[in-house]
């Protein structure tokens, strides 16, 4: 596979990417006239131009402190002799967008790619944090391949309720389940609600945002410790300044993403993903980023890495702590040092050093803490992520085994089938449906093409079972779940139901067998019967979008196994 990379113009600064008038001299003349109106003089215009992607929005509450971070980056750019130019990009609020932020990740990636290739800049600083902003930006610069450096906004601090430490959003889900089960009343859940997200920043458990912050360090696209420093810390601002300075140096060195994001760098990222028991969403994002560079990743690659690497970071949902704890314990440098035997040392990092050179200066997990464990004393054994194959999903599926219930990892039970999110909402709590803890809950038509692949795979436990203390059931879908979620949940099943996958053929009462130890997931129906059902079934999506981005997305998005990117990208 090859990658048709868009290269910057040979000219630098504001002589880059001239507006098309058929007269370059006029283009430069007009450009300087309008830049003069912004108060810029000839000395300003002689400096390297550093673009800063601003993903702040009132809707994206995780990025509340983005203005301060931008100011810090600008200060670093100016100190290093560059000229900072902030520009806004689409912001993707995980909680305040319909139907799911995943539907717009590719749109943001396209927008950022077009902005960094159409506007004059010598390098770009990628600011983000909330789940889909970081992968969208990396997809963009993987294609544009201009000097780039990433910086996430960082995680929130934790809150407390009646002496219990709380954090978004693993505790959100746990407390909501307790509320549905009658353990908490209306007043108590209202009190809890105000403590789950107490500061600016992204979710402080090892959800997708935290996972991508750690993965950025593993890939070498951000400065050391930048993946875990809390959003409200002074260290986050100092990292902003250092990132701005480094962005200017990238121009002279001409250090591009294609030199950083190599096959070995992605192999390192998969090792780290296993060690932190990171979000399953990272599998889709890393696959999409890699494919932009002509590098093929499969779920079996992630599986193989996870079978070698135990869980070393004690962070929810697989563990008990939070990302600020991991940062205080040494952050990614301490974790990477412990993982050194499994890492490619000769990969370059955005700081200019190789990973090996950095590792030689770092110390591993220290005895004063127990958040970052050693290989000999892990939080959980190897196998945090497991790839599943079988008759239900011929192209595979994934399960986060580290966050699943051990007693359900080998399970055989009858299916209860939901054809859509509306169907799920209407029937899941109805006792007449007859769901028991032995059933397998199947939700289909939530794959990329059908509905943008929402985080609905962690199907809610029926209220009447939750009230009896049931907290987990085997759940299967062609969608995703939040990295903050937990349970025995099979995800990313491909092909998805709307594109003719066998999931579309499952009927109520069909036996489904899950064997995580053997990496199997089978629909126990005779092949002849499935053939007969397939002949009666017409793949497709009811009420498919007819216009705009949603139609373009539905028509051209690839399967989860290919990163759910657009087929023409």
pLDDT digits (tens, 9 = 90+) for 394-428: 999 999 999 999 999 999 999 999 999 999 999 99
Q: What is the pTM of this model?
A: 0.96
Question: Could you please report the per-residue DSSP string of 276-318?
Answer: TT--THHHHHHHHHHHHTT----HHHHHHHHHH--B-B-BTTT
Mean pLDDT (the chain) is: 96
Give the right CATH number for 385-562 from 3.20.20.150, 3.50.30.80, 3.40.50.2300, 3.60.90.10: 3.50.30.80
What pLDDT, on the 0 to 100 scale, is given for residue 542?
Answer: 78
What does the alpha-carbon distance between residue 463 and residue 423 come to, in Å, rounded to a whole number?
A: 16
Residue labelled with tokens 């054994």 = 381
Comparing CA positions, the residue from 278, 261, 530, 551 lying closest to residue 390 is 530
Residues 6+ apart with CB under 8 A from 245: 76, 77, 79, 80
Residue labelled with tokens 């389940």 = 177
pLDDT digits (tens, 9 = 90+) for 361-383: 999 999 999 999 999 999 999 99
Domain ranges of the chain: 13-157+199-359, 159-193, 385-562
**Does position 189 have pLDDT exceeding 80, yes or no?**
yes
Contact 138, 213 (CB under 8 A): no
**Does position 34 have pLDDT exceeding 80, yes or no?**
yes
- In three state form, how does the secondary structure of 332-374 look? HHHHHHHCHHHCCCCCECCCCCEHHHHHCCCCCCCCCCCCECE
What pLDDT, on the 0 to 100 scale, is given for residue 510?
Answer: 98
What pLDDT, on the 0 to 100 scale, is given for residue 4?
Answer: 39
pLDDT digits (tens, 9 = 90+) for 498-543: 999 999 999 999 999 999 999 999 999 999 999 999 999 888 877 8
| 164 burial level (CB within 10 Å; 0-12, 13-18, 19+) | exposed
Greatest Cα pair distance in the chain: 76
């Amino acid at each position: 596979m090859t990658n048709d990379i868009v290269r910057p113009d040979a000219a630098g600064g504001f002589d880059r990417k001239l507006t098309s008038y058929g007269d370059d001299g006029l283009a430069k003349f007009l450009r300087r006239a309008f830049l003069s109106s912004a108060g810029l003089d000839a000395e300003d215009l002689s400096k390297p131009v550093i673009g800063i992607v601003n993903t702040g929005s009132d809707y994206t509450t995780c990025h509340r402190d983005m203005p301060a971070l931008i100011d810090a980056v600008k200060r670093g750019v100016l100190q290093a002799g560059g000229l900072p130019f902030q520009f806004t990009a689409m912001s993707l609020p995980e909680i305040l967008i319909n139907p799911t932020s995943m539907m717009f990740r590719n749109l943001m990636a396209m927008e950022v790619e077009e902005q960094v290739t159409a506007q004059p800049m010598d390098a770009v600083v990628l600011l983000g944090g909330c789940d889909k902003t970081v992968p969208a930006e990396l997809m963009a610069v993987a294609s544009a391949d201009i000097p780039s450096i990433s910086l996430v906004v960082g995680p929130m601090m934790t809150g407390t309720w009646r002496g219990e430490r709380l954090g978004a959003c693993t505790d959100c889900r746990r407390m909501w389940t307790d509320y549905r089960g009658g353990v908490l009343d209306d007043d108590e859940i209202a009190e809890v609600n105000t403590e789950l997200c107490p500061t600016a920043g992204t979710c402080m458990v090892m959800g997708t945002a935290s996972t991508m912050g750690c993965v950025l360090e593993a890939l070498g696209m951000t400065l050391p410790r930048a993946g875990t420093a809390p959003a409200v810390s002074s260290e986050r601002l100092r990292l902003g300044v250092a990132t701005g300075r480094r962005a200017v140096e990238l121009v002279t060195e001409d250090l591009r993403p294609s030199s950083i994001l190599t096959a070995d760098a992605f192999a390192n990222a998969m090792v780290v993903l296993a060690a932190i028991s990171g979000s399953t969403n990272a599998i889709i994002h890393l696959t999409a980023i890699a494919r932009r560079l002509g590098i093929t990743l499969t779920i079996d690659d992630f599986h193989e890495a996870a079978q070698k690497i135990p869980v070393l970071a004690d962070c929810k949902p697989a563990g008990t702590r939070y990302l600020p704890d991991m940062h205080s314990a040494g952050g990614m440098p301490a974790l990477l040092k412990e993982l050194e035997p499994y890492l490619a040392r000769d990969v370059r990092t955005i700081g200019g050093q190789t990973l090996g050179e950095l590792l030689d200066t770092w110390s591993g997990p220290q005895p004063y803490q127990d958040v970052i464990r050693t290989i000999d004393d892990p939080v959980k054994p190897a196998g945090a992520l497991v790839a599943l194959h079988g008759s239900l999903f011929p192209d595979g599926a994934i399960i986060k085994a580290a966050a699943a219930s051990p007693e359900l990892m080998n399970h055989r039970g009858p299916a209860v089938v939901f054809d859509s999110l509306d169907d799920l909402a209407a029937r899941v709590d109805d006792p007449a449906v007859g769901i028991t803890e032995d059933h397998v809950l199947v939700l289909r038509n939530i794959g990329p093409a059908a509905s943008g692949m929402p985080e609905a795979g962690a199907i809610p436990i029926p209220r009447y079972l939750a009230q009896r203390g049931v907290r987990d059931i085997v759940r299967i879908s062609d969608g995703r779940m939040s990295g903050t979620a937990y349970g025995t949940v099979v995800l990313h099943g491909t092909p998805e139901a709307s594109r003719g996958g066998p999931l579309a053929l499952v009927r109520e009462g069909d036996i489904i067998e899950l064997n995580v130890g053997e990496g199997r997931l089978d629909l126990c129906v005779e092949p002849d019967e499935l053939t007969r059902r397939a002949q009666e079934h017409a793949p497709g999506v009811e009420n498919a979008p007819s216009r705009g981005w949603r139609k373009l997305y539905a028509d051209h998005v690839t399967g989860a196994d290919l990163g759910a990117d657009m087929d023409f990208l």
